[in-house]
Amino acid sequence: MLNKRHCNIPIFIPQKACPHQCIYCNQRYISGQQTAPTLSEVQQTIERYLSTAEKDTDIQVAFFGGTFTGLDIEEQKNYLETVKPYITSGRIQSVRLSTRPDYINTEILDILKHYNVTDIELGAQSLDKEVLRFSERGHTAQDVEHASQLIRSYGFNLGLQMMIGLPKDTPEKSISTAEKIVSLGAVSSRIYPTLVIDRTPLSAM
């Protein structure tokens, strides 16, 4: 039997609520979006994707880009409320989002659970303290471990993102990070190569 088709509807919130400027990042430049989408634009994006989705497709709205859980609580709720009618009607099955490990707590997770969020991806990037420090991530490996445990305890699917080739990284450190991601119980991982993007501190270096 074939697996059910899956579709993500991506909603990009470029660098919204990010408290740090990591040396490699300029999401407004990368995504081509200078501002976060309005609620109306979110709805339009959803409708556009739904108009071409095949029947019997598992559809998930995915908030990518900035630190979703760093947004003001009411702003988070407004975005999630926009998606809620589609979930209630069965046109969309769930929500996923990406965020920072130091912006996860029980209050946030209670809200996300209420709004049918099923998958939370953490931008870990590395679990080596030297790599994190030189990349100016602003969080520690312990923050990643704590947030991962909390997310799993609530029953969310945990995703952990990693980047290879960051300053002070080595093949051995990247392999160690990958092994730790598995040990933390992640059900998915995105592995990004470090690219030198124009208009970033890494580019200036």
The SS3 of residue 102 is helix
CA dihedral (115, 40, 76, 52) in degrees, to 10, reads 50
The answer to whether 166 touches 131, Cβ cutoff 8 Å, is yes
> Which residues of the chain have a pLDDT value below 70?
1-3, 15-21, 23-24, 26-34
> Which residues are 202's β-sheet partners?
none
* Predicted local confidence at residue 19, as pLDDT: 61
> Which residues are 58's β-sheet partners?
6
* Predicted local confidence at residue 108, as pLDDT: 96
**What dotted CATH number matches 5-204?**
3.20.20.70
Strand runs labelled E in 88-144: 94-99, 117-125
The answer to whether 118 touches 97, Cβ cutoff 8 Å, is no
Domain map of the chain by residue range?
Answer: 5-204
